[in-house]
Amino acid sequence: MTPKNFLFLRIKYTQQENTRVQSGSQKVSRFAFAASLAVLSIIVATLSNQEAFGDGLTSETFSATLGERNAELLVQVNPPILTDASRNDAYILFRLYDANNNQTIQYTTFFITVEKGVGEDAVPIMPPTLFHTESGLLRLKVQPAEGDLRIFGTQEQFLNAWVADPGGTVNIQGPLFLEGGIYHLRVEIFGVDNIRNIFADENIPKFDSWLSVGDVFTQNIDYQGQAYNTTIISYYDRVRDFSFDGNNQQFTWSMPFDWNASRIEETNIFVHEEVKIPKSLAGIGDTTSFTATVNGNPISGRMLAVDPYSSQQELTLHYLINKNDIISMASQSSQGDSDMVFTLAPATGQVAQTTGEILTDTGNINVILEWAPDQLNANAESTLTLIFLDGFSGERIADDVNYNLRVLDNNGSQVYSQTGLVAEGGTGIQTIDFPANENYRVEVEVTAIARDGQSIDQTRNGIARGTVVVPEFQPGSLATAAAVTGISAAMIILLRRFVKIVPGLGL
């Protein structure tokens, strides 16, 4: 039932009452109802229909125009990773606020629908339901349980909307967050400022968001007669079809995925898989070079981040696949594909290289790393320029980015650390002195996007990880070109000497 139809039926019934509407001990007189109808007749909301899409994230912020107000809507699901303990604090949060002053817009009415899954596999969980919050903040506190959805609370008598408590909370029970995966939230801003201030149906801001609750998958694998515990955390959807081939040391798993190209084009999509392998797993957990694929497509660089330092017992790898990567893969996928298939195996013969582009594990922010001079050396000043890009659009972030920066050596010891840094207009510059010639790990932690010194968005926070090789010629640099030219010249000299011994080679 659409909001417009709902409102029409409610008014029709009230007019038939002829005198008053009664709910509990509260009564609305015929005069008061007539006055409210008059108010409704003169309210015109200068809104344009808007749709926004998100896929594979735990929170998103959408823009909407409410008259003269530049409003933003925050939608967030919790927990980011589903465990038995985290279910105790499961909720969905909605906050509509004025972006000009960060003030929550009070007396907001939301029209919300929740489904689990995408496309034909979507399962309805909560039918279209009206919620009203005087504070402007709505927090649906979830008690995961089998069976039908139940809402606990009171309904106001004008729209029959469920009313949040003074803190903005409505308690619900049902099949929400019983398992990880994609949750599809349809959100409409039904009205603001007053329970009777309802937007015309054609002007209601409408948002579609697919937000994810991470799924934790744990499996013991048998390798050379020993059992090793392996964990995969899928921040997109549930892990399935896991296997390990000990002969080629390859892990394989899949998760449900809709490869519909038009849906992907309309979606701010981001896939993050986190793999934890015991370091005691010789030949796999004690290496840092891997061959990885997604549906047969090789991934490396910013798409595969290797983290040997977060844990003393486990090696952690992050698959970080953004929208452009998925669009490229979708063009090569079969029309009937309904899974995203991952493989992982240790690589042989690969030489570590300095990473020029890294991606945050949450928030989908790209960080371009530019080093100067071109050849990095120990005990010499090196300048790092960091350029922060929106991973969805590919454009530089125009606002300031608050971030922390640290560098770790091969032993995981911290050799450089700075917190509270600000990349003004999306660009930051830092000077680093590497203590020795070796491979290093660089970590950039985004803590907020800010404007005029004030945090305006913390939904994009995350950590990006990369490698720095000291010394190394940077790809594409003048130093590299000179080195290649020198090597080529030396090879020609040697060949010409060889020609004197074996004539007739044409050199």
- DSSP calls for 450-490: EETTEEEE-TT-EEEEEEEESS-BPTTSHHHHHHHHHHHHH
Q: What are the DSSP calls for 354-411, one per residue?
A: --SEEEBSSS-EEEEEEEESSB--TTSEEEEEEEEEETTT-PBP-SEEEEEEEEE-TT
Residue position matching structure tokens 């995408």: 118
At 353 the three-state DSSP class reads: coil
The pLDDT of residue 55 is 52
Could you tell me if 464 and 403 are in contact, meaning their C-beta atoms sit under 8 angstroms apart? no
pLDDT tens-digit map of 356-381: 999 898 888 999 999 999 889 999 99
Distance CA 380, CA 333 (A): 48
Q: Percentage of the chain with pLDDT > 90?
A: 49
The pLDDT of residue 332 is 76
Which is nearest to 69 in space by CA: 202, 192, 239? Answer: 192
Tokens matching residue 105: 């817009």
16 pLDDT band (50/70/90 cuts)? very low
Distance CA 208, CA 113 (A): 10
In angstroms, the Cα distances linking 21 to 33, 41, 141, 196, 237 are 9, 20, 30, 15, 46
42-49 average pLDDT score: 34
pLDDT tens-digit map of 377-405: 999 999 999 999 988 778 899 999 999 99
Beta pairing partners, 95:
74, 137
Report yes or no on whether pTM surpasses 0.85. no
Distance CA 412, CA 466 (A): 13
Beta pairing partners, 417:
406
Distance CA 213, CA 289 (A): 29
83 pLDDT band (50/70/90 cuts)? confident
Distance CA 457, CA 492 (A): 57
Distance CA 286, CA 293 (A): 20
Beta pairing partners, 228:
221
H or E segment and range at residue 303: none
